Chain A
Amino acid sequence: MTTLAREDRATVAEGSGFSAKLRRNWAGYLFLAPWLIGFLCFTLGPVLVSLYLSFTKFDLLRPPQWIGTDNYVRMFTGDYRFFQALRVTFTYLLFEVPLKLAFALLIAVTLDKAVRGGGFYRALLYLPSLLGGSVAIAVLWRQLFDGNGAVNRIALELFGIQGPSWISNPDTAIYTLIILAIWQFGSPMVIFLAGLRQIPQDLYEAASIDGASRLRQFRKITLPLLAPVIFFNMVLQVIEGFKAFTPAFIISGGTGGPVDSTLFYTLYLYQEAFAYFRMGYASALAWVLLIVIAAFTAVSFVTSKYWVYYEDDQR
Chain B
Amino acid sequence: MSSLTRRQFAGGCAALLAAPASLVTSRAALAQATRLRCFWWGNPERDKRTKTALDAYSQKAGTQIAAESLGWGDYWTKLGTQTAGGNAPDLIQMDYRYIFEYARRDTLLALEKVMPSPLNLKDFSEGARECGKVDGKLYGVTLGTNSKAMVYDTAMFEKVGVKALDPKWTWDDMARIAGEISKINPGKYWGSGDNSRWEQGFEHWLNQRGKLLYTPEGKAAFTRDDVTEWFSLWDKLRKSGAVAPAEVAATNTGGIDQYEISRGTAAMSFANSNQVVAFQNINKSKLAISVFPNEPGGSSGHYIKPAMMMSVSSRTKAPEEAAKVIEFLVNDPEGVKALGIERGVPGSSAAQALLAPDLDDLGKMQVEYVSAVSKVAIKLPPPPPKGAGEIEKLLLRVADTVAFGRASVKDGAQQFHSEAESILARA
List A residues at the B interface (Cβ < 8 Å). 60-62, 146-147, 164-165, 167-170, 252-255, 257-260, 274-277
Contacts and interface: CB of A to CB of B under 8 A. Distances in A.
The interface centre, meaning the residue of B73, B254, B400 with most chain A CB atoms within 10 A of its CB, is B400
A275 B73 contact: yes
A60 B84 contact: yes
B44 interface: no
Nearest to B264: A148
Given A146-B251, A253-B258, A259 B105 contact: no
B248 A259 contact: no
B248 A168 contact: yes
B390 interface: yes
B357 to A, nearest CB: 40
Contact of A255 (B81, B247, B393): B393
A254 B81 CA distance: 17
B246 interface: yes
B253 A255 contact: yes
B400 A258 contact: yes
A231 to B, nearest CB: 39
Contacts, number: 72
A71 to B, nearest CB: 12
> Top 7 nearest A-B pairs by Cβ distance?
A253-B253, A60-B84, A258-B250, A168-B250, A274-B77, A165-B247, A168-B251
Interface string B79-98: 01101100000000000000
A169 B247 contact: yes
B389 interface: yes
Contacts of A254: 73, 253
Interface residues of B, number: 27
B389 A61 contact: no
A147 B247 contact: yes
Nearest to B187: A162
B105 A62 contact: yes
A192 to B, nearest CB: 37
Nearest to A147: B247
Contacts of B304: none
11 contacts: A61-B83, A61-B84, A62-B105, A168-B248, A169-B247, A169-B404, A252-B253, A257-B253, A274-B80, A275-B77, A275-B390
A234 to B, nearest CB: 34
Interface in B93-132: 101, 105, 107
A274 B77 CA distance: 5
Contacts of A274: 77, 80-81
Given A276-B389, A277-B80, 20 more contacts: A61-B80, A61-B105, A165-B251, A168-B246, A168-B248, A168-B250, A170-B250, A253-B73, A253-B255, A254-B73, A255-B253, A257-B250, A257-B253, A258-B247, A259-B397, A259-B401, A259-B404, A260-B397, A274-B81, A275-B389
Among A62, A164, A252, A275: residue with most chain B CB under 10 A: A275
Contacts of B390: 275-276
Interface in B243-283: 246-248, 250-251, 253-255, 258
Given A170-B404, A274-B77, A275-B77, A257 B105 contact: no
A60 B105 CA distance: 11
Nearest to B76: A275
Contacts of B397: 255, 257, 259-260
A151 to B, nearest CB: 14
Contacts of A255: 253, 393, 396-397
Nearest to A164: B247
B389 A258 contact: no
A146 B247 CA distance: 9
B406 interface: yes
A170 B73 contact: no
Nearest to B105: A61
B186 to A, nearest CB: 12
Given A253-B258, A275-B73, A275-B77, A167 B251 contact: yes
A217 B254 CA distance: 55
A303 to B, nearest CB: 37
Given A170-B406, A257-B400, A259-B400, A60 B250 contact: no
Contacts of A168: 246-248, 250-251
A140 to B, nearest CB: 15
Nearest to B101: A61
A193 B323 CA distance: 64
A193 B232 CA distance: 58
B230 to A, nearest CB: 18
Nearest to B197: A257
A257 B397 CA distance: 7
A168 B80 CA distance: 30
B254 A253 contact: yes
Contacts of A169: 247, 250, 404
Contacts of A61: 80, 83-84, 101, 105, 107
Contacts of B401: 259
A257 B398 CA distance: 11
A259 B406 contact: yes
A163 B81 CA distance: 42
Interface string B369-412: 00000000000000000000110010011001100101000000
A142 to B, nearest CB: 8
B81 A60 contact: yes
B257 to A, nearest CB: 11
A168 B244 CA distance: 13
A260 B401 CA distance: 9
Nearest to A58: B84
Contacts of B400: 170, 257-259
B268 to A, nearest CB: 19
B246 A258 contact: yes
Nearest to A281: B426
A62 B77 CA distance: 16
Please indicate which of the listed interface residues A62, A168, A253, A259 has the most CB atoms of chain B within 10 Å of its own CB: A259
Contacts of B254: 253
Contacts of A146: 251
A248 B248 CA distance: 18
B158 to A, nearest CB: 25
A107 B107 CA distance: 57
Contacts of B107: 61
